[in-house]
Structure 1
């Protein structure tokens, strides 16, 4: 399993932003990331300076949203939907997107459920509960 560091993730998104701005060829994963960058133009300043991005502190105490965490969650959810893992997530996503009238808004609701599932797993010491994750999405 690939487990990138915080700096790896930040470098990845900054490099995708740079390549997108320069009209360079992107890998398939970079193209997916670019699509989310385009939907979040408010992150352009953070993405345009890789050195500042690597040094930035997005701790809860500072009260700033972490654009790299947000974009990473979009990528994770997009991958989950594309492979329907956990099973049923694609249908739950489609239902939520239809109810909300927006795939992007559905992703944002799913982020809450994903965060809850991860938090519960860390707190309990048990593996993530995919069924509870799907149920949370269906209730959203």
Structure 2
């Protein structure tokens, strides 16, 4: 792996997995509250979902995905940046509107879409981590770290 390849992968490597893990936990906590009959309006868990989206969005705004070919995760990164993150933003807005209406059925429906979106983003991250170039990056990063 040459230095340019390392730099490209390093730029793309941020706390994506940790962010999505936290978002999944928050979505599950919201799901439990709704199952108990509570409407989690203005909950910290929903704020955590919004915060996670913001972190992902800001990170992807800083990455020029056109610099990445398929081998370096370009297809995955473009799908996340151009399709999945805008979709997640819309689902968050839809869920927020359902929270404001306090309609339990609509809330459950919107939550399922939100949950699916977060899981899909997590799956894309897993696919990125399985790329041979990413595996080479991790090996080289461990060597550089000592």
Please report the TM-score for the alignment, with normalisation by the length of structure 1. Answer: 0.28
Compute the TM-score of the two structures, normalised by the length of structure 2.
0.27
Greater helix share, structure number: 2
Q: Which has the higher contact order (CA 8 A, sep 6+)?
A: 2
Q: Flag the structure with larger Rg.
A: 2
